[in-house]
Amino acid sequence: MAYSMTGFGHFEITSEGKKVTCQLKSVNHRYLELSVKMPRKLSVFEGEVRALLKKRISRGKVDVSFQFEESFDRKYDIRYNPSVVEAYQESAIQMAKAYGILNDLTVSSIATLPDVFEVKEAEDDPEQLLSMTMDALDGAIDRFVSNRRDEGERLREDMLSKLDELLKDVSFIESRSPQIIEEYKARITDRVHELLEDASIDESRIAMEVTLFADKICVDEELVRLRSHIEEARSTLLTDEAVGRKLDFIAQELNREANTILSKSTDKEITGVGIEMKTCIEKIREQIQNLE
Q: Which residue has the higher pLDDT, 61 or 242?
A: 61
| pLDDT bracket for residue 267 (50, 70, 90) | confident
Same domain, 135 and 204: no
Whether 167 is covered by a domain: the verdict is yes
Whether 245 is covered by a domain: the verdict is yes
Please state the φ and ψ torsions of residue 81, each to the nearest 5 degrees. Answer: -100, 105
pLDDT at 189 over 60: no
Burial class (CB in 10 A: 0-12, 13-18, 19+), 244: buried
Element holding 180 (H helix, E strand)? helix 126-196
Whether 83 is covered by a domain: the verdict is yes
pLDDT at 57 over 80: yes
Whether 1 is covered by a domain: the verdict is no
Same domain, 66 and 160: no
Whether 2 is covered by a domain: the verdict is no
Angle 126-196/220-237 helices, nearest 10 degrees? 160
Same domain, 162 and 284: yes
Question: Reduced to 3 states, what is the DSSP secondary structure of residue 103?
Answer: coil
Q: Which of 41, 37, 33 is nearest to 65 (CA)?
A: 37
Rounded Cα–Cα distance for residues 166 and 263 (Å): 18
Please state the φ and ψ torsions of residue 106, each to the nearest 5 degrees. Answer: -125, 170
Same domain, 159 and 237: yes
Same domain, 95 and 139: no
What's the rounded mean pLDDT across residues 191-205? 59
Whether 276 is covered by a domain: the verdict is yes
CA distances from 106 to 92, 103, 110 (A): 11, 9, 6
Same domain, 111 and 165: no
Same domain, 114 and 135: no
Find the CATH number of the domain harbouring 39: 3.30.230.70
Number of folded domains that form the chain: 3
- Global model pTM greater than 0.85: no
**In which domain, by residue range, is 36 found?**
7-72+126-148
pLDDT at 196 over 60: no
Same domain, 14 and 110: no
Q: Do 147 and 7 contact (CB within 8 A), yes or no?
A: yes
Model pLDDT for residues 62-111, shown as the tens digit of each residue: 999 999 998 766 666 788 888 988 888 888 888 888 888 888 888 888 88
pLDDT at 184 over 80: no
**Looking only at Cα atoms, what is the longest distance across the chain?**
154
Same domain, 81 and 13: no
Same domain, 40 and 102: no
Please state the φ and ψ torsions of residue 272, each to the nearest 5 degrees. Answer: -65, -45
Rounded Cα–Cα distance for residues 18 and 41 (Å): 12
Same domain, 239 and 132: no
Same domain, 54 and 136: yes
Model pLDDT for residues 133-183, shown as the tens digit of each residue: 999 999 999 999 999 999 999 999 999 999 999 999 999 888 887 777 666
